[in-house]
Each structure stands twice: as C-alpha cells, then as structure tokens.
Amino acid sequence: MEIEKGKTYKYLREKREVSQAAKDNLKQFIKIKKSILDALQESDLTIEQLTQKLNMPANEVVYYLMSLVKYGFVQTGAVDDMDAYFSYKLKK
C-alpha cells in the first residue's frame, strides 16, 4: 500500500492486529475518566468521596485521578483541617 506521511498508522493497521487487552484497557480508561470528570462536575471531592460515589477501590481512584491531574483535566484543591486529605476539582 502507498504510505502517506502523517497517516502511517494505517500501514501498521494492515500488518498488525491490536490486542484485545489493549482495546479493553482503552475502553476501561474512557469509562473511568468520564465517571471521575462527571462526578467532579457537580462539586469538588476528596478521594474518599469519589471512592464512595464511583464504588471503586480507593487505590484505583488515586491512580486514575492522579493521571488526570498529570494530563491537566483535574487539579488539586484544598487540604482538610487535619492536613491529611486533599480535595480535587476540574481544571477550568
């Protein structure tokens, strides 16, 4: 096939199958990202509040939430009176 610069992914698509695990991982991230961003749309939340709202293990909330902070979707808000837990908010 003719290879067009800027569209070379099409070339590899012909030659290589994307694994089911990679497709499942993408689907899961899209779902979790949406649920976290939707939850934060309503109000700023702590990890504990997100854990309860999303019914997701707290360590997974930490991992995904911190990744969303890293990529600029979410930002860290205020810390509680005990200096123990931060709240998180959407990055405007």
Partner 1 sequence: MHGKIMNASFDALVIGGGIAGGEAALNLANNGFKVLIVEKDLSIGGKMILLSKVFPTLDCSACITTPKVSEISRHPGITIFTGSEVKSISRKSETSFEAVVIKTPRYVIGEDCTGCQLCEQACPVLVHDQFQYNLVGRKAAYIPFSIASPRVAAIDIENCTLCGACEKVCPTKCIDFTQEEEEYCIDVKTVIIATGFNLFDPLKIPRYGYGTYKNIITSMQMERQLAPTRPFNTILRPGDGKVPDRIAYVLCTGSRDMTVGNPICSQICCMYSIKQAQLLMGALPMADVTIYYINIRSFGKGFEEFYDQAKGMGVNFVKGKIGKITENENGNLNLRYEDINENVVRESEHDLVVLSVGVLPNTDSKALFHDGDLKLDPFSFVDQADPLASPSKTSIDGVFVAGTATGPMDIPDSILSAGASSAEAISYLNRRL
Which residues here bind partner 1, judged by CB under 8 A? 3, 5-13, 16, 18-19, 22-23, 25-26, 29-30, 33, 46-48, 51, 58-59, 61-67, 69-72, 76, 79, 83-86
Enumerate residues 6+ apart whose C-beta is below 8 A from 61.
Answer: 36, 47, 50, 51, 54
Please check whether residue 65 is in contact with residue 47, taking contact to mean a CB–CB distance below 8 angstroms: yes
Q: Which is nearer to partner 1, 47 or 90 (CB)?
A: 47
Q: Which is nearer to partner 1, 18 or 37 (CB)?
A: 18
Residue 62: CB minimum distance to partner 1, A: 5
Residue 42: CB minimum distance to partner 1, A: 19
Q: Where does residue 70 fall: left (phi above 0), alpha (psi -120 to 50 degrees), or beta otherwise?
A: alpha
